[in-house]
Amino acid sequence: MADLKSKIESNAAVVGVLGLGYVGLPLALEFARKGLRVRGFDVDAGRVRALRSGRSYIGDVASSLLREQTAAGRFRAEHGFDAVSGCDALIICVPTPLRKTKEPDVSYILSAASEVARRLAKGRLLVLESTTYPGTTRELVLPLFEKRGMKAGKDFFLAFSPERVDPSNPRYRIENTPKVVGGITPACGRLAAALYSKVVGRVVRASSAETAEMVKLLENTFRAVNIGLVNEMSLMCHKLGLDVWEVIEAASTKPFGFMPFYPGPGLGGHCIPVDPHYLAWKMKALNFEPRFIELAGVINGSMPEHSVARMADLLNRRGMPVQGSRILVLGAAYKPDVNDVRESPSLDVIKLLLDLGAEVSYHDPHVPALTIGGKKMRSAPLTPSSLRRADLVAVLTAHSGVDYGLVVRRAKLVFDARNAAKGLRAPGLFRL
């Protein structure tokens, strides 16, 4: 342990990052930026080619930074796994999706950990960052190394550290977001903390890997449940003829005991719609019913249908059926100013509208093309003429740089599910 800790502290350690997506690539470049040599591994050959040519596909990673670290010899993208054997510390940042049955799919974790287990020499550190249920690190990853006769805390070091990436957040980046780490043994935790201290200002030690795994699930379940609450509040306000956004804004003036969350057309991204179900699955296996998680999932999952029903009602008031109506959707990504469409509710809304026979187009400056229900679509320009042509404009993602004042002035009907037109009033403007 002392040798590896010394190599980390002196920047002599080689860090390997498995999975170069929204979590792995920024982390890899941050280690490189702090002076360590980094090897990034990905099974997607196209990603590796892009990185080797100096082109970043992640909005939060500038291509100039990538080229700078590559030219300095501090970062190299790898397609195969042979270079894993030359790494002193390895961090797994692979996807953890849900199966159609809402069960965890940990196959990517097992595949990556198996590749490491076949090559890891003694005295090395492995950290899992992929979000998963409590017990994964100890119950699934650890046995892969124990089969080779290696003992955690002695022959190698194993820990879990939940990722805390918020794409496009200009305020909180890797270096100023505290990092939680939990080791299989105390020695594992200490070594993982030493590694992350190279790139993060504050490292928080958890007592175990299971605690660290649970921390991530609490963080995202907290958000899912509170978003579910405010989504239900928006449904109630609609029934009562009230503006939920005004209610939230007024409630936010209370300086204690209240934290604002905001409604929308549904949940999107790689965390909030998925992670709570990892915890729910684990608890059901222990004969415990996670009622808050289940209820929030039902409410949040119903919001795309509710949004389409609101649009249909607005068109009906103008004597127009959904079938044949021209509907322009603003925003395909799941959140502002990113190109990530994973679990985006906009895709669900577009699919529902297409199924009802609507003529749907979309505008998103970050998502140039989509395929939904077999239909290939390209982002349409947002112009006064395209706004006038639409029978209804639906704001589903509030990207910065879009003139929502123009949208309200030129469109016949606007359904604003994100309060993008905050402060604006017009006869044809309706909020979620």
Tokens of 180: 């939680």
Kind and range of the H or E run holding 40: strand 37-41
Query: For residue 395, which phi and psi values (nearest 5 degrees)?
Result: -90, 105
169/16: higher pLDDT: 16
Which residues contact residue 204 at a Cβ distance below 8 angstroms, ignoring those fewer than 6 apart? Answer: 178, 179, 180, 181
- Answer whether 2-207 and 223-431 agree in fold: yes
d(CA 78, CA 425): 53
Say what the pLDDT of residue 57 is.
94
16: CB partners within 8 A, 6+ apart: 38, 39, 40, 41, 83, 84, 87, 89, 90, 91
* Portion of the chain with pLDDT greater than 70, in percent: 100
Q: How far apart are CA 314 and CA 309, in angstroms?
A: 9
315-350 tens-digit pLDDT: 999 999 999 999 999 999 999 999 999 999 999 999
**Encoding tokens for residue 232?**
């239900």
What are the residue ranges spanned by the domains of the chain? Answer: 2-207, 223-431
Where helices occur in 20-105 by DSSP H, the ranges are 24-33, 45-52, 63-71
pLDDT digits (tens, 9 = 90+) for 271-317: 899 999 999 999 999 999 999 999 999 999 999 999 999 999 999 99
The DSSP letter of residue 140 is: I
pLDDT at 269: 87
CA distances to 205, 312, 322, 350 from 318, rounded to whole Å, are: 59, 10, 11, 21
What percentage of the chain exceeds 90 in pLDDT? 94
What was the pLDDT predicted at 174? 94
For residue 270, pLDDT over 90 is answered with no
Say which residues have a Cβ less than 8 Å from residue 28's Cβ, sequence separation at least 6.
15, 17, 20, 38, 40, 75
Helical spans, DSSP H, in 264-371: 275-285, 291-317, 345-355
Alpha-carbon distance of 38 to 107, in angstroms, equals: 25
* Cross-strand partners of 183: 159
Task: Determine the average pLDDT of the residues in 410-423.
Answer: 96
Q: How far is CA 352 from the centre of its chain?
A: 24
Sign, CA dihedral 396-57-181-92, equals positive
Mean pLDDT of the chain: 95
Mean pLDDT computed over 373-392: 95
**Where does 223-431 sit in CATH, by number?**
3.40.50.720
> Which residues are the active-site residues?
271
Q: Which two tokens stand for residue 404?
A: 């929502």
Please state the φ and ψ torsions of residue 34, each to the nearest 5 degrees: -90, 5
The tally of CA atoms less than 13 A away on the side-chain side of residue 13 is 27
Domain 2-207, architecture per CATH:
3-Layer(aba) Sandwich (3.40)
Q: What is the mean pLDDT of the segment spanning 405-412? A: 96
302-314 in b/e form (b: 16+ CB < 10 A) is bbbebbbebbbeb
Show the tokens assigned to 306.
Answer: 């509710």
What Å distances lie between residue 239 and 233, 250, 334, 428, 432, CA to CA? 10, 19, 26, 19, 11
Q: How far is CA 277 from CA 108, 227, 266, in A?
A: 17, 15, 16
